[in-house]
Amino acid sequence: MTYLVTGGAGFIGANFVYHMLAAHPTDRIVCVDKLTYAGNLSTLEEALKNPNFRFVKADICDREAITKLFGEERPEVVVNFAAESHVDRSIENPGVFLETNILGTAVMMDVSRIFGVERFHQVSTDEVYGDLPLDRPDLFFTEETPIHTSSPYSSSKASADLLAMAYHRTYSLPVTISRCSNNYGPYQFPEKLIPLMIANALADKPLPVYGEGLNVRDWLYVEDHCKAIDLILQKGRVGEVYNIGGHNEMKNIDIVKLICKALDKPESLITHVTDRKGHDMRYAIDPAKIHGELGWLPETMFADGIQETIQWYLNNRKWWEEIISGEYQNYYQRMYGNR
């Protein structure tokens, strides 16, 4: 079996590559990634030593390159992680989100249709459902919750989901979609909340909390997300959407305080900065469908996963210090300089 994994040099894609190489040691994993600012080949260093793994640098919008790759590899399964993934960047510059997240997904599905695949899995997000109010803790996102997006990022992901369902209905492309809550764990780019706060705290820099920090996210350890996708590939029903989340809601401010405590840094580093435009208040997944149908449950408790993650960033300073030493500094200045 050959799996074509797009975006495998990014955070979740790389964790998925490692999961698949370990869980399916006789299968072939081909990774296609454009290596944008968020993609890092050094993340795949160990995978590159495995004869069952191949890396190809290409843009998922590049129809010719993707067609050539399908001709060479004839993948049975495509897992589409490749995306522009950061909400703040989508607010700054939506165009590239529309190109990669919508048009790139369309190219991947067109070529999958032409060559024929057993499964096209679209990795989506709970952000397509918009947000929930803080004063209604009884409400959760189910697969039936209407799409109601807030940011250019979530709108581009929702567009890709609609297109994927249309390709399933119109062309019988064997599509599945997963919508996961916020992930944390090794190899997350330090522009996202948890690694950014760890990196800043270690450098005794201010910890920029948007607004009051009362926004709630539903955090899942990345390995649990990877296992859920694997399960959907093996046992999920074609044409279905599966929500993935582990009922682990936390306020941003509590996460930042927890990181301060774990690193023995003073909470006085916390700086409240101007809120994100259109900032979603609360995300909360109801995972009843994937649990009931496929038997999936998260395995890593947040208390353990966050300690492991912090330890990983302490042990792998070279990985993230290199990332934040270059172009990222310009981004940081633009995003936080006058905030």
* Span 15-74, contacts to ligand TYD by CB under 6 A: none
Tokens 């350890």 identify what position? 221
Q: Give the whole-angstrom CA distance, residue 254 versus residue 57.
A: 39
Q: Identify the active-site residue in 84, 126, 131, 249.
A: 126
By CB under 6 A, is residue 35 in contact with ligand NAD? yes
Task: Assess whether 126 carries a catalytic annotation.
Answer: yes
Among 4, 5, 13, 66, binds ligand NAD (CB under 6 A): 13
Would you say 201 and 207 are in contact if contact means Cβ atoms under 8 Å apart? yes
The site partner of 10 among ligand TYD, ligand NAD, none (C-beta below 5 to 8 Å per kind) is ligand NAD
CB of 95 to ligand TYD, least distance (A): 19
Q: Is 96 left (phi over 0), alpha (psi -120 to 50) or beta?
A: alpha
Give the footprint of ligand TYD on residues 191-250 (CB under 6 A). 192-193, 196, 208-210, 215, 217
According to DSSP, residue 203 is labeled T
In the complex, the smallest distance separating the C-beta of residue 62 from ligand TYD, rounded to whole angstroms, is 27
Q: Which one of 19, 28, 39, 228 is in contact with ligand NAD (CB under 6 A)?
A: 39
Stretch that binds ligand NAD, among 132-140, 175-183, 203-211, 255-263 (CB under 6 A): 175-183
Residue linked to tokens 């004063």: 135
In the chain, which ranges are continuous DSSP H helix? Answer: 11-23, 63-73, 87-92, 95-97, 105-115, 152-171, 193-202, 222-235, 252-263, 288-294, 302-315, 317-325, 328-336
Measured distance between the N- and C-terminal CA atoms of the chain, rounded to whole angstroms: 49
Q: Is 127 a catalytic residue?
A: yes
**Residue 252 in the binding site for ligand TYD (CB under 6 A):** yes
Radius of gyration of the chain (CA): 19
Residue 217 is a binding residue for ligand NAD (CB under 6 A): no
Is residue 31 within 8 A of residue 55, CB to CB? The reply is yes
Q: Which residues are catalytic?
A: 126-127, 153
User: Contact residues for ligand TYD (CB under 6 A)?
Assistant: 87, 182, 192-193, 196, 208-210, 215, 217, 252, 276
- Where along the sequence are the contacts to ligand NAD (CB under 6 A)? 6-7, 9-13, 33-36, 38-39, 59-61, 81-85, 100, 104, 123, 125, 157, 180, 182-183, 189
